[in-house]
Amino acid sequence: MARVLVLNGPNLDRLGRRRPELYGRTTLAEIESRLKQLGRQLNLEVELRQSNHEGELVAWIHEACERFDALLINAAAYTHTSIAIMDALEMFPGPVVEVHLSNIFAREPFRHRSFVSPVATGVVCGFGPLGYELALRAVAARLGLDGSGDG
C-alpha cells in the first residue's frame, strides 16, 4: 500500500470558523476523515498533519522523503513566502500536489506567486475541500493505483 502525507500549513486548523464565506464550513477533521476513507478505496494509506510553524513543516517534508510515496501540501500563507518549504519539497522523490481551498489566482496579487508550484507535480486550487480529494485521486493515478496505467 502506497503512503501519502498530507501537510497543512498555518491557520488551517481553524477551517470551518475562519472566513467561512471564503474557505467554507468544512473542518480539517472532516477533510481528514474524507481523505482517509478515499485513501482506503484507492489503496493509499493517508496521514494528515497540520502546523502553524514553518520549521515543523520543513522537518515533516524531510521525514516524508524516507517514509512516504507522495505528498499533498496546502502550505497556506507559506505558499507565498517560504523558500525553505520550496527547497525541502524539491528533495522529495515522489509526486507532490499543491492544494488550495480558494483560487489563489482570483485573490490578492501577492497570492498569485507560489514558491511551491515550481517544485510540485501539479496544483489543485479553487474547489474547496473537494480539492484535497481531487489531489489524492491524481496521486493515485500518478502512482499507477487507479487502473489507468498512467503511473
Where do the domains of the chain lie, and which CATH numbers do they carry? 2-142 (3.40.50.9100)
Note the pLDDT of residue 25.
78
pTM: 0.92
Note the pLDDT of residue 147.
59
Cα 96 versus chain centre, distance = 8
**Bigger pLDDT: 145 vs 6:** 6
Mean pLDDT is lowest, of 40-44, 74-78, 99-103, 145-149, for 145-149
Active-site choice (23, 53, 80, 132): 23
The three-class DSSP label of residue 42 is coil
Q: Using CA atoms, how far apart are residues 97 and 22, in angstroms rounded to an integer?
A: 21
Query: Active-site residue 132, yes or no?
Result: no
**Nearby residues of 33 by Cβ (< 8 Å), 6 or more positions away:** none
Query: Active-site residue 23, yes or no?
Result: yes
Q: How confident is the model at residue 68 (pLDDT cuts 50, 70, 90)?
A: very high
Active-site choice (78, 100, 112, 132): 100
Note the pLDDT of residue 137.
98
Pick from 129, 70, 69, 140: nearest CA to 99: 129
For the cut 70, the answer to whether the pLDDT of residue 10 exceeds it is: yes
Note the pLDDT of residue 115.
96
